[in-house]
A and B are shown apart, each in its own frame.
Chain A
Amino acid sequence: MVSFVEAYFAPKKDIPRRVYLSVSTLVGVLGLAFWCVLAYGGLVRPDFLPTPVAVAKAAIAGAEDGSLFVNTYVSVSEIMTGFVLATVLAVPLGILMGSFKIVEAGIEPVTNFVRYLPVSALIPLLILWVGIDMWEKVAVIFIGTFFQQLILIADVSRSVSHDLLDVSYTLGANRRTVVTRVLIPATMPGVMDTLRVTLGWAWTYLVVAELVAANKGLGYFILNSMRGLYTDQIFLGIMVIGLLGLIADQLFKFGRNWLLPWATNL
Protein backbone atom coordinates (compact mmCIF):
# COMPACT_ATOMS: atom_id res chain seq x y z
CA MET A 1 0.00 0.00 0.00
CA VAL A 2 2.80 2.34 0.91
CA SER A 3 4.50 1.66 -2.42
CA PHE A 4 1.21 2.43 -4.22
CA VAL A 5 1.01 5.85 -2.58
CA GLU A 6 4.72 6.30 -3.20
CA ALA A 7 4.36 5.54 -6.90
CA TYR A 8 1.12 7.25 -7.86
CA PHE A 9 0.72 10.23 -5.54
CA ALA A 10 3.78 12.29 -6.46
CA PRO A 11 2.67 15.75 -7.67
CA LYS A 12 2.81 16.19 -11.46
CA LYS A 13 4.38 12.75 -12.01
CA ASP A 14 3.13 10.63 -14.85
CA ILE A 15 1.47 7.34 -14.04
CA PRO A 16 1.27 4.29 -16.33
CA ARG A 17 -1.46 4.53 -18.97
CA ARG A 18 -2.96 1.27 -17.70
CA VAL A 19 -3.35 2.65 -14.17
CA TYR A 20 -4.81 5.88 -15.55
CA LEU A 21 -7.48 4.03 -17.53
CA SER A 22 -8.24 1.67 -14.65
CA VAL A 23 -8.88 4.57 -12.29
CA SER A 24 -11.09 6.35 -14.84
CA THR A 25 -13.10 3.19 -15.48
CA LEU A 26 -13.38 2.42 -11.80
CA VAL A 27 -14.82 5.85 -10.99
CA GLY A 28 -17.28 5.52 -13.88
CA VAL A 29 -18.38 2.09 -12.70
CA LEU A 30 -18.72 3.30 -9.10
CA GLY A 31 -20.90 6.20 -10.24
CA LEU A 32 -23.10 3.82 -12.20
CA ALA A 33 -23.27 1.43 -9.25
CA PHE A 34 -24.27 4.26 -6.92
CA TRP A 35 -27.03 5.23 -9.34
CA CYS A 36 -28.24 1.58 -9.50
CA VAL A 37 -28.31 1.29 -5.73
CA LEU A 38 -30.37 4.47 -5.41
CA ALA A 39 -32.76 3.58 -8.23
CA TYR A 40 -33.20 -0.19 -7.84
CA GLY A 41 -32.91 -0.15 -4.09
CA GLY A 42 -36.02 2.02 -3.98
CA LEU A 43 -34.15 4.69 -2.04
CA VAL A 44 -35.41 7.39 -4.42
CA ARG A 45 -38.82 7.54 -6.05
CA PRO A 46 -38.73 6.35 -9.69
CA ASP A 47 -40.32 9.56 -10.97
CA PHE A 48 -37.42 11.46 -9.35
CA LEU A 49 -34.62 9.13 -10.39
CA PRO A 50 -35.10 6.78 -13.33
CA THR A 51 -33.22 3.49 -13.52
CA PRO A 52 -30.36 3.19 -16.05
CA VAL A 53 -32.49 0.71 -18.00
CA ALA A 54 -35.35 3.22 -18.21
CA VAL A 55 -32.98 5.83 -19.61
CA ALA A 56 -31.65 3.32 -22.14
CA LYS A 57 -35.22 2.48 -23.15
CA ALA A 58 -36.00 6.18 -23.55
CA ALA A 59 -32.95 6.45 -25.79
CA ILE A 60 -34.14 3.53 -27.95
CA ALA A 61 -37.66 5.01 -28.16
CA GLY A 62 -36.23 8.40 -29.04
CA ALA A 63 -34.08 6.85 -31.73
CA GLU A 64 -36.96 4.85 -33.15
CA ASP A 65 -39.34 7.77 -33.56
CA GLY A 66 -36.42 10.00 -34.58
CA SER A 67 -37.17 12.69 -32.00
CA LEU A 68 -33.78 12.25 -30.35
CA PHE A 69 -31.94 12.87 -33.61
CA VAL A 70 -34.13 15.79 -34.65
CA ASN A 71 -33.66 17.56 -31.32
CA THR A 72 -29.93 16.85 -31.28
CA TYR A 73 -29.56 18.03 -34.85
CA VAL A 74 -31.45 21.26 -34.12
CA SER A 75 -29.34 22.02 -31.05
CA VAL A 76 -26.06 21.18 -32.76
CA SER A 77 -26.83 23.29 -35.81
CA GLU A 78 -27.88 26.25 -33.65
CA ILE A 79 -24.76 26.02 -31.59
CA MET A 80 -22.48 25.59 -34.60
CA THR A 81 -24.00 28.59 -36.37
CA GLY A 82 -23.76 30.89 -33.36
CA PHE A 83 -20.33 29.64 -32.35
CA VAL A 84 -18.83 29.84 -35.82
CA LEU A 85 -20.20 33.35 -36.38
CA ALA A 86 -18.82 34.51 -33.03
CA THR A 87 -15.44 32.85 -33.68
CA VAL A 88 -15.03 34.24 -37.18
CA LEU A 89 -15.42 37.76 -35.84
CA ALA A 90 -13.84 37.41 -32.42
CA VAL A 91 -10.54 35.82 -33.49
CA PRO A 92 -9.32 38.59 -35.83
CA LEU A 93 -10.81 41.35 -33.74
CA GLY A 94 -9.38 39.93 -30.50
CA ILE A 95 -5.91 39.58 -32.00
CA LEU A 96 -6.02 43.20 -33.16
CA MET A 97 -7.44 44.36 -29.83
CA GLY A 98 -4.61 42.76 -27.86
CA SER A 99 -1.87 44.17 -30.04
CA PHE A 100 -3.08 47.57 -31.21
CA LYS A 101 -3.86 50.02 -28.43
CA ILE A 102 -6.06 52.03 -30.76
CA VAL A 103 -8.34 49.05 -31.43
CA GLU A 104 -8.37 48.24 -27.73
CA ALA A 105 -9.41 51.79 -26.91
CA GLY A 106 -12.30 51.50 -29.34
CA ILE A 107 -13.63 48.10 -28.39
CA GLU A 108 -12.64 47.18 -24.86
CA PRO A 109 -14.94 49.46 -22.82
CA VAL A 110 -18.04 48.33 -24.73
CA THR A 111 -16.97 44.71 -24.55
CA ASN A 112 -16.46 44.79 -20.83
CA PHE A 113 -19.89 46.33 -20.40
CA VAL A 114 -21.67 43.74 -22.52
CA ARG A 115 -19.60 40.90 -21.11
CA TYR A 116 -21.05 41.37 -17.67
CA LEU A 117 -24.64 41.43 -18.87
CA PRO A 118 -26.05 37.97 -18.20
CA VAL A 119 -27.13 36.68 -21.58
CA SER A 120 -30.21 35.15 -20.02
CA ALA A 121 -31.36 38.68 -19.18
CA LEU A 122 -31.28 39.52 -22.87
CA ILE A 123 -33.44 36.61 -23.98
CA PRO A 124 -36.78 38.43 -23.64
CA LEU A 125 -35.44 41.28 -25.71
CA LEU A 126 -34.04 38.90 -28.31
CA ILE A 127 -37.38 37.08 -28.54
CA LEU A 128 -39.02 40.43 -29.14
CA TRP A 129 -36.49 41.40 -31.79
CA VAL A 130 -35.69 38.12 -33.49
CA GLY A 131 -38.61 35.83 -32.65
CA ILE A 132 -38.42 32.32 -31.26
CA ASP A 133 -36.97 30.48 -34.23
CA MET A 134 -33.43 29.21 -34.67
CA TRP A 135 -31.96 32.69 -35.12
CA GLU A 136 -32.96 33.72 -31.64
CA LYS A 137 -30.87 30.84 -30.23
CA VAL A 138 -28.06 31.76 -32.56
CA ALA A 139 -28.23 35.34 -31.32
CA VAL A 140 -28.12 34.19 -27.68
CA ILE A 141 -25.10 31.97 -28.35
CA PHE A 142 -23.42 34.68 -30.36
CA ILE A 143 -23.78 37.32 -27.66
CA GLY A 144 -22.86 34.84 -24.96
CA THR A 145 -19.65 33.68 -26.60
CA PHE A 146 -18.47 36.55 -28.81
CA PHE A 147 -17.62 39.03 -26.08
CA GLN A 148 -15.97 36.42 -23.87
CA GLN A 149 -13.89 35.19 -26.81
CA LEU A 150 -12.91 38.73 -27.65
CA ILE A 151 -11.52 39.44 -24.19
CA LEU A 152 -9.77 36.07 -23.88
CA ILE A 153 -8.21 36.24 -27.36
CA ALA A 154 -7.11 39.83 -26.76
CA ASP A 155 -5.26 38.55 -23.68
CA VAL A 156 -3.64 35.80 -25.73
CA SER A 157 -2.52 38.35 -28.30
CA ARG A 158 -1.30 40.72 -25.60
CA SER A 159 0.88 38.03 -24.06
CA VAL A 160 2.83 37.31 -27.26
CA SER A 161 6.43 38.05 -26.32
CA HIS A 162 7.71 41.49 -27.37
CA ASP A 163 11.11 39.96 -28.07
CA LEU A 164 9.53 37.68 -30.67
CA LEU A 165 8.22 40.72 -32.55
CA ASP A 166 11.46 42.65 -32.04
CA VAL A 167 13.62 39.85 -33.37
CA SER A 168 11.43 39.76 -36.47
CA TYR A 169 12.06 43.44 -37.08
CA THR A 170 15.80 42.91 -36.76
CA LEU A 171 15.51 40.11 -39.32
CA GLY A 172 14.08 42.61 -41.77
CA ALA A 173 10.34 42.16 -41.29
CA ASN A 174 8.04 45.15 -41.71
CA ARG A 175 4.92 45.68 -39.61
CA ARG A 176 2.66 43.79 -41.93
CA THR A 177 4.94 40.79 -42.04
CA VAL A 178 5.28 40.85 -38.28
CA VAL A 179 1.50 40.74 -37.89
CA THR A 180 0.84 38.06 -40.50
CA ARG A 181 3.88 35.83 -40.03
CA VAL A 182 4.66 36.25 -36.35
CA LEU A 183 1.85 37.69 -34.27
CA ILE A 184 -0.96 35.61 -35.76
CA PRO A 185 0.81 32.23 -35.69
CA ALA A 186 2.05 32.96 -32.16
CA THR A 187 -1.53 33.37 -30.92
CA MET A 188 -2.84 30.12 -32.42
CA PRO A 189 -2.43 27.76 -29.43
CA GLY A 190 -4.09 30.28 -27.11
CA VAL A 191 -6.87 30.88 -29.63
CA MET A 192 -7.56 27.14 -29.85
CA ASP A 193 -7.70 26.90 -26.07
CA THR A 194 -10.11 29.83 -25.91
CA LEU A 195 -12.40 28.23 -28.47
CA ARG A 196 -12.36 24.99 -26.56
CA VAL A 197 -13.41 26.69 -23.33
CA THR A 198 -16.03 28.96 -24.88
CA LEU A 199 -17.67 26.10 -26.77
CA GLY A 200 -18.58 24.65 -23.38
CA TRP A 201 -20.16 27.95 -22.39
CA ALA A 202 -22.06 28.07 -25.67
CA TRP A 203 -23.85 24.85 -24.66
CA THR A 204 -25.02 26.49 -21.46
CA TYR A 205 -26.47 29.47 -23.31
CA LEU A 206 -28.14 27.26 -25.87
CA VAL A 207 -29.94 25.21 -23.27
CA VAL A 208 -31.01 28.34 -21.39
CA ALA A 209 -32.39 29.78 -24.63
CA GLU A 210 -34.20 26.56 -25.46
CA LEU A 211 -35.69 26.28 -22.01
CA VAL A 212 -37.24 29.73 -22.36
CA ALA A 213 -38.75 29.48 -25.80
CA ALA A 214 -38.38 26.66 -28.30
CA ASN A 215 -40.29 23.90 -30.01
CA LYS A 216 -37.27 21.80 -30.90
CA GLY A 217 -33.84 21.10 -29.49
CA LEU A 218 -32.39 19.28 -26.51
CA GLY A 219 -33.34 22.03 -24.04
CA TYR A 220 -36.90 21.90 -25.28
CA PHE A 221 -36.80 18.09 -25.07
CA ILE A 222 -35.75 18.30 -21.42
CA LEU A 223 -38.33 20.92 -20.53
CA ASN A 224 -41.10 19.07 -22.31
CA SER A 225 -40.19 15.85 -20.54
CA MET A 226 -40.46 17.62 -17.20
CA ARG A 227 -44.04 18.59 -17.98
CA GLY A 228 -45.01 14.92 -18.27
CA LEU A 229 -42.70 13.90 -15.41
CA TYR A 230 -40.68 11.73 -17.84
CA THR A 231 -37.57 11.78 -15.74
CA ASP A 232 -35.95 9.12 -17.91
CA GLN A 233 -36.14 11.49 -20.87
CA ILE A 234 -34.75 14.38 -18.83
CA PHE A 235 -31.79 12.19 -17.95
CA LEU A 236 -31.41 11.20 -21.57
CA GLY A 237 -31.38 14.83 -22.70
CA ILE A 238 -28.78 15.78 -20.13
CA MET A 239 -26.61 12.80 -21.01
CA VAL A 240 -26.72 13.56 -24.72
CA ILE A 241 -25.56 17.11 -24.00
CA GLY A 242 -22.76 15.80 -21.80
CA LEU A 243 -21.74 13.30 -24.42
CA LEU A 244 -21.72 15.90 -27.20
CA GLY A 245 -19.61 18.15 -24.97
CA LEU A 246 -17.16 15.33 -24.39
CA ILE A 247 -16.92 14.59 -28.12
CA ALA A 248 -16.43 18.28 -29.01
CA ASP A 249 -13.75 18.62 -26.36
CA GLN A 250 -11.86 15.59 -27.64
CA LEU A 251 -12.15 16.88 -31.20
CA PHE A 252 -10.65 20.18 -30.10
CA LYS A 253 -7.86 18.42 -28.28
CA PHE A 254 -6.94 16.22 -31.23
CA GLY A 255 -7.44 19.07 -33.66
CA ARG A 256 -5.03 21.25 -31.71
CA ASN A 257 -2.35 18.59 -31.52
CA TRP A 258 -2.81 17.85 -35.21
CA LEU A 259 -2.96 21.44 -36.48
CA LEU A 260 -0.32 22.81 -34.12
CA PRO A 261 2.21 20.00 -33.73
CA TRP A 262 4.81 22.57 -32.72
CA ALA A 263 2.91 23.73 -29.64
CA THR A 264 3.06 22.04 -26.27
CA ASN A 265 0.73 19.06 -26.49
CA LEU A 266 -2.49 18.89 -24.50
Chain B
Amino acid sequence: MAKLRIDNVALRFMRRGGSPVTALEKISLDVEENEFSVIVGPSGCGKTSLLRLVAGLIEPSEGAVYLDGHAVTKPGRDRGMVFQSYTLFPWLRVAENVEFGLKIAGIETGERRRIALRYISQVGLDGFERAYPKELSGGMMQRVALARALANDPEVLLMDEPFGALDSQTRSLMQELLLKIWERAHKTVLFITHDIDEAILLGDRVYVMTARPGRIKEEVDIDIPRPRTVELLTSERFIVIKRRIMALIHEEAVRALA
Protein backbone atom coordinates (compact mmCIF):
# COMPACT_ATOMS: atom_id res chain seq x y z
CA MET B 1 0.00 0.00 0.00
CA ALA B 2 1.25 3.44 -0.88
CA LYS B 3 2.16 5.69 1.99
CA LEU B 4 0.34 8.60 0.42
CA ARG B 5 -2.31 8.12 -2.22
CA ILE B 6 -3.84 10.92 -4.22
CA ASP B 7 -6.89 9.33 -5.75
CA ASN B 8 -8.73 10.93 -8.66
CA VAL B 9 -8.58 14.37 -7.11
CA ALA B 10 -10.20 17.31 -8.87
CA LEU B 11 -10.39 20.90 -7.70
CA ARG B 12 -12.83 23.40 -9.10
CA PHE B 13 -13.82 26.80 -7.89
CA MET B 14 -16.07 29.62 -8.97
CA ARG B 15 -14.67 32.83 -10.37
CA ARG B 16 -16.08 36.07 -9.13
CA GLY B 17 -18.40 36.33 -12.10
CA GLY B 18 -19.71 32.82 -11.47
CA SER B 19 -17.83 31.00 -14.21
CA PRO B 20 -16.29 27.75 -12.99
CA VAL B 21 -12.54 27.15 -13.16
CA THR B 22 -10.95 23.73 -13.08
CA ALA B 23 -7.64 24.05 -11.27
CA LEU B 24 -6.88 20.34 -11.00
CA GLU B 25 -8.38 17.55 -13.05
CA LYS B 26 -8.38 13.87 -12.11
CA ILE B 27 -5.02 13.60 -10.47
CA SER B 28 -3.89 10.27 -9.14
CA LEU B 29 -0.49 9.45 -7.81
CA ASP B 30 1.08 7.27 -5.16
CA VAL B 31 3.98 8.23 -3.00
CA GLU B 32 5.72 5.21 -1.54
CA GLU B 33 7.12 5.13 1.96
CA ASN B 34 10.59 6.72 2.25
CA GLU B 35 10.35 8.02 -1.29
CA PHE B 36 11.26 11.51 -2.37
CA SER B 37 8.67 12.57 -4.95
CA VAL B 38 8.81 15.84 -6.78
CA ILE B 39 6.07 17.54 -8.74
CA VAL B 40 7.33 19.93 -11.35
CA GLY B 41 5.15 22.09 -13.54
CA PRO B 42 4.71 25.54 -15.05
CA SER B 43 3.51 28.32 -12.78
CA GLY B 44 -0.24 28.44 -12.40
CA CYS B 45 -0.66 24.70 -13.00
CA GLY B 46 -2.14 24.16 -9.56
CA LYS B 47 0.79 22.35 -7.97
CA THR B 48 0.55 24.42 -4.81
CA SER B 49 -3.19 23.66 -4.62
CA LEU B 50 -2.37 19.97 -4.89
CA LEU B 51 0.01 20.19 -1.96
CA ARG B 52 -2.51 22.14 0.09
CA LEU B 53 -5.03 19.40 -0.63
CA VAL B 54 -2.64 16.82 0.74
CA ALA B 55 -2.02 19.01 3.77
CA GLY B 56 -5.77 19.16 4.32
CA LEU B 57 -5.82 22.95 4.11
CA ILE B 58 -8.34 22.80 1.26
CA GLU B 59 -10.85 20.16 0.26
CA PRO B 60 -11.00 18.50 -3.15
CA SER B 61 -14.13 18.89 -5.26
CA GLU B 62 -13.80 15.23 -6.19
CA GLY B 63 -11.67 12.30 -5.12
CA ALA B 64 -9.70 11.97 -1.94
CA VAL B 65 -6.22 11.89 -0.43
CA TYR B 66 -5.22 8.94 1.73
CA LEU B 67 -2.38 8.76 4.19
CA ASP B 68 -1.67 5.18 5.32
CA GLY B 69 -5.10 4.26 3.99
CA HIS B 70 -6.99 6.90 5.97
CA ALA B 71 -8.75 9.71 4.12
CA VAL B 72 -7.36 13.17 4.83
CA THR B 73 -10.07 15.52 6.08
CA LYS B 74 -8.16 18.28 7.84
CA PRO B 75 -4.61 19.42 8.50
CA GLY B 76 -2.62 17.48 11.03
CA ARG B 77 0.85 17.03 12.44
CA ASP B 78 1.33 13.81 10.45
CA ARG B 79 1.77 16.00 7.38
CA GLY B 80 4.38 18.66 8.06
CA MET B 81 4.75 21.46 5.57
CA VAL B 82 7.41 23.96 4.56
CA PHE B 83 6.09 26.98 2.66
CA GLN B 84 7.73 29.14 0.05
CA SER B 85 6.99 32.27 2.08
CA TYR B 86 8.73 32.84 5.39
CA THR B 87 6.43 31.40 8.01
CA LEU B 88 8.46 31.47 11.20
CA PHE B 89 6.65 32.94 14.18
CA PRO B 90 8.47 36.24 14.58
CA TRP B 91 7.76 36.46 18.33
CA LEU B 92 9.41 33.12 19.05
CA ARG B 93 13.13 32.49 19.15
CA VAL B 94 14.60 29.86 16.83
CA ALA B 95 14.40 27.08 19.42
CA GLU B 96 10.86 28.05 20.40
CA ASN B 97 9.82 28.03 16.76
CA VAL B 98 11.19 24.52 16.32
CA GLU B 99 9.46 23.44 19.53
CA PHE B 100 6.07 24.87 18.58
CA GLY B 101 4.53 21.62 17.33
CA LEU B 102 6.00 19.63 20.21
CA LYS B 103 4.71 22.10 22.74
CA ILE B 104 1.12 21.98 21.53
CA ALA B 105 1.40 18.20 21.42
CA GLY B 106 2.08 18.36 25.15
CA ILE B 107 5.65 17.12 25.14
CA GLU B 108 7.44 18.24 28.28
CA THR B 109 10.02 21.03 28.25
CA GLY B 110 13.27 19.10 28.61
CA GLU B 111 12.37 16.52 26.02
CA ARG B 112 11.20 19.06 23.45
CA ARG B 113 14.25 21.23 23.97
CA ARG B 114 16.44 18.20 23.31
CA ILE B 115 14.55 17.37 20.10
CA ALA B 116 14.67 20.99 18.95
CA LEU B 117 18.41 21.28 19.51
CA ARG B 118 19.00 18.12 17.54
CA TYR B 119 17.17 19.45 14.49
CA ILE B 120 18.65 22.92 14.80
CA SER B 121 22.03 21.24 14.73
CA GLN B 122 21.04 19.14 11.71
CA VAL B 123 20.20 22.23 9.70
CA GLY B 124 23.51 23.77 10.75
CA LEU B 125 22.21 26.52 13.02
CA ASP B 126 24.03 25.71 16.26
CA GLY B 127 24.44 28.90 18.21
CA PHE B 128 21.32 30.55 16.79
CA GLU B 129 18.86 28.91 19.22
CA ARG B 130 18.08 32.18 20.94
CA ALA B 131 17.92 34.40 17.86
CA TYR B 132 14.68 35.96 16.69
CA PRO B 133 13.65 35.38 13.06
CA LYS B 134 14.27 39.05 12.23
CA GLU B 135 17.97 38.45 12.88
CA LEU B 136 18.17 35.62 10.32
CA SER B 137 18.73 35.61 6.57
CA GLY B 138 16.18 34.09 4.20
CA GLY B 139 18.12 30.85 3.88
CA MET B 140 18.46 30.54 7.65
CA MET B 141 14.75 31.13 8.12
CA GLN B 142 13.94 28.32 5.70
CA ARG B 143 16.34 26.05 7.53
CA VAL B 144 14.51 26.77 10.78
CA ALA B 145 11.19 26.12 9.01
CA LEU B 146 12.57 22.76 7.87
CA ALA B 147 13.80 21.94 11.38
CA ARG B 148 10.40 22.90 12.77
CA ALA B 149 8.59 20.59 10.35
CA LEU B 150 11.02 17.72 11.01
CA ALA B 151 10.89 18.11 14.80
CA ASN B 152 7.25 17.03 14.68
CA ASP B 153 8.41 13.77 13.04
CA PRO B 154 5.63 13.82 10.41
CA GLU B 155 4.68 10.79 8.33
CA VAL B 156 5.03 12.89 5.19
CA LEU B 157 6.95 16.08 4.64
CA LEU B 158 5.32 18.48 2.18
CA MET B 159 7.51 21.15 0.66
CA ASP B 160 6.06 23.94 -1.46
CA GLU B 161 8.93 25.53 -3.39
CA PRO B 162 10.73 26.06 -0.10
CA PHE B 163 13.84 27.50 -1.76
CA GLY B 164 11.99 29.53 -4.38
CA ALA B 165 12.60 32.86 -2.71
CA LEU B 166 16.33 32.32 -2.17
CA ASP B 167 19.25 33.42 -4.31
CA SER B 168 20.83 30.69 -6.42
CA GLN B 169 23.94 30.15 -4.28
CA THR B 170 21.89 29.81 -1.12
CA ARG B 171 19.43 27.59 -2.97
CA SER B 172 22.07 25.06 -3.98
CA LEU B 173 23.45 25.00 -0.43
CA MET B 174 19.93 24.34 0.83
CA GLN B 175 19.48 21.56 -1.72
CA GLU B 176 22.64 19.87 -0.53
CA LEU B 177 21.58 20.24 3.07
CA LEU B 178 18.19 18.73 2.32
CA LEU B 179 19.84 15.85 0.43
CA LYS B 180 22.11 15.18 3.38
CA ILE B 181 19.26 15.21 5.88
CA TRP B 182 17.03 13.12 3.66
CA GLU B 183 19.65 10.54 2.85
CA ARG B 184 20.04 9.99 6.57
CA ALA B 185 16.40 9.93 7.65
CA HIS B 186 14.57 8.84 4.48
CA LYS B 187 11.39 10.70 5.23
CA THR B 188 8.55 10.38 2.77
CA VAL B 189 8.65 13.68 0.93
CA LEU B 190 6.38 15.37 -1.56
CA PHE B 191 8.23 18.35 -2.97
CA ILE B 192 6.97 20.98 -5.39
CA THR B 193 9.09 23.14 -7.63
CA HIS B 194 9.22 24.75 -11.04
CA ASP B 195 12.98 24.30 -11.11
CA ILE B 196 13.84 21.22 -13.19
CA ASP B 197 17.40 20.94 -11.87
CA GLU B 198 16.10 20.94 -8.33
CA ALA B 199 13.51 18.29 -9.18
CA ILE B 200 16.05 15.88 -10.69
CA LEU B 201 18.71 16.52 -8.08
CA LEU B 202 16.39 15.79 -5.17
CA GLY B 203 13.80 13.33 -6.40
CA ASP B 204 13.49 9.58 -6.70
CA ARG B 205 10.56 10.26 -8.96
CA VAL B 206 9.46 13.38 -10.79
CA TYR B 207 5.89 14.05 -11.86
CA VAL B 208 5.48 16.55 -14.66
CA MET B 209 2.25 18.52 -14.45
CA THR B 210 0.35 20.10 -17.31
CA ALA B 211 -0.75 23.71 -17.55
CA ARG B 212 -4.19 24.46 -16.17
CA PRO B 213 -6.26 22.45 -15.73
CA GLY B 214 -3.46 20.64 -13.94
CA ARG B 215 -3.00 16.95 -14.65
CA ILE B 216 -0.06 14.61 -14.30
CA LYS B 217 1.46 14.45 -17.73
CA GLU B 218 4.22 12.02 -17.05
CA GLU B 219 6.08 10.22 -14.33
CA VAL B 220 9.85 10.10 -14.64
CA ASP B 221 12.01 7.79 -12.53
CA ILE B 222 15.30 9.36 -11.54
CA ASP B 223 17.60 6.36 -11.42
CA ILE B 224 20.65 8.30 -10.30
CA PRO B 225 22.32 6.67 -7.30
CA ARG B 226 22.70 8.44 -4.00
CA PRO B 227 24.39 10.12 -2.24
CA ARG B 228 23.97 12.94 -4.72
CA THR B 229 25.66 16.30 -4.76
CA VAL B 230 25.30 19.41 -6.90
CA GLU B 231 28.18 18.19 -9.09
CA LEU B 232 25.56 15.93 -10.58
CA LEU B 233 24.07 18.91 -12.40
CA THR B 234 26.71 18.70 -15.10
CA SER B 235 26.78 14.91 -15.51
CA GLU B 236 25.66 13.32 -18.75
CA ARG B 237 23.01 11.21 -17.11
CA PHE B 238 21.50 14.24 -15.49
CA ILE B 239 21.40 16.16 -18.74
CA VAL B 240 19.65 13.34 -20.57
CA ILE B 241 16.87 13.32 -17.97
CA LYS B 242 16.74 17.09 -17.91
CA ARG B 243 16.35 17.26 -21.67
CA ARG B 244 13.43 14.90 -21.51
CA ILE B 245 11.64 16.80 -18.75
CA MET B 246 12.32 20.11 -20.45
CA ALA B 247 10.73 18.82 -23.62
CA LEU B 248 7.64 17.75 -21.69
CA ILE B 249 7.36 21.12 -19.98
CA HIS B 250 8.04 22.97 -23.20
CA GLU B 251 5.13 21.17 -24.85
CA GLU B 252 2.95 22.31 -22.01
CA ALA B 253 4.14 25.89 -22.12
CA VAL B 254 3.44 26.04 -25.84
CA ARG B 255 0.04 24.48 -25.36
CA ALA B 256 -0.79 26.96 -22.61
CA LEU B 257 0.08 29.88 -24.87
CA ALA B 258 -1.88 28.54 -27.83
Contact = CB atoms under 8 A, between A and B. Distances in A.
Contact of A163 (B76, B85, B149, B152): B85
A172 to B, nearest CB: 3
Contact of A173 (B55, B57, B104, B134): B104
A261 interface: yes
B89 A161 contact: no
B90 A166 contact: no
Given A167-B81, A261-B132, A264-B134, A172 B101 contact: yes
Nearest to A174: B104
Given A169-B57, A171-B152, A263 B81 contact: no
A182 B104 CA distance: 12
B75 A166 contact: yes
A191 to B, nearest CB: 13
A251 interface: no
A161 B85 contact: yes
A171 B91 contact: no
B148 A170 contact: no
A222 interface: no
B183 to A, nearest CB: 24
A172 B76 contact: yes
B91 A170 contact: no
A181 interface: yes
Nearest to A166: B57
Interface string A241-263: 00000000000000000001111
A167 B132 contact: no
Contacts of A161: 85, 87
Nearest to B74: A169
Interface string B73-98: 01111011101010101111000000
B85 A182 contact: no
B79 A170 contact: yes
B254 interface: no
B105 interface: yes
Nearest to B135: A262
A223 interface: no
Given A161-B87, A170-B77, A262-B132, 5 more contacts: A163-B83, A170-B79, A171-B148, A188-B91, A262-B91
22 contacts: A163-B83, A166-B87, A167-B145, A169-B55, A169-B56, A169-B57, A170-B77, A170-B79, A170-B81, A170-B158, A171-B77, A171-B101, A171-B148, A172-B77, A182-B89, A185-B91, A186-B89, A261-B132, A262-B91, A262-B133, A263-B90, A264-B134
7 smallest CB-CB distances across A and B, nearest first, come from A172-B77, A171-B101, A169-B75, A170-B81, A167-B87, A262-B132, A185-B91
